[in-house]
């Protein structure tokens, strides 16, 4: 019984440590991509992108950086929608601007039921 409890606690701690490490790795990669992207931009755009990136919450930064790097149209839509509603995924999902050209493509929609 006690060993089961200890094993459960160890598994939980391992899962937490892995989640924390994964988050740090992801943040590090985003930061590296941001630095590489910014350094590749022309001077007139560099400071504007840098200033904007500094205002974006960490969990939304990756999509913005990928969009700025020209790596993904999907990321561009995600970044635009996120910025549009103040970085609330719930507000993007529940967006009521039905006439917006991005509405059908907005991220964070609930998966369609099969």
Q: What does the binding site for ligand SF4 look like in residue numbers (CB under 6 A)?
A: 80-81, 84-85, 92, 95, 97, 100, 102-103, 106
Residue number, 47 or 94, with CB nearest to ligand SF4: 94
Residue number, 67 or 81, with CB nearest to ligand SF4: 81
Going from the C-alpha of 61 to that of each of 15, 28, 64, 95, the distances in angstroms are 25, 12, 5, 20
> Please, where are the H alpha helices in 40-114?
43-53, 58-68, 73-84, 89-93
Provide the minimum distance between the beta carbon of 95 and ligand SF4 in the complex, in angstroms, as a whole number: 3
Residue number, 38 or 77, with CB nearest to ligand SF4: 77
């Amino acid at each position: 019984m006690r060993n089961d409890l200890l094993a459960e606690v160890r598994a939980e701690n391992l899962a937490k440590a892995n989640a924390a490490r994964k988050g740090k790795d992801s943040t590090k990669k985003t930061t590296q991509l941001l630095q590489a992207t910014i350094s590749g931009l022309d001077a007139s755009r560099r400071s504007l992108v840098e200033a904007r990136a500094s205002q974006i919450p960490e969990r939304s930064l990756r999509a913005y950086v990928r969009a700025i790097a020209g790596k993904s149209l999907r990321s561009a839509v995600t970044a635009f929608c996120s910025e549009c509603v103040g970085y609330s995924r719930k507000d993007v999902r529940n967006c009521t601007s039905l006439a917006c050209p991005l509405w059908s493509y907005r991220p964070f929609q609930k998966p369609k039921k099969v």
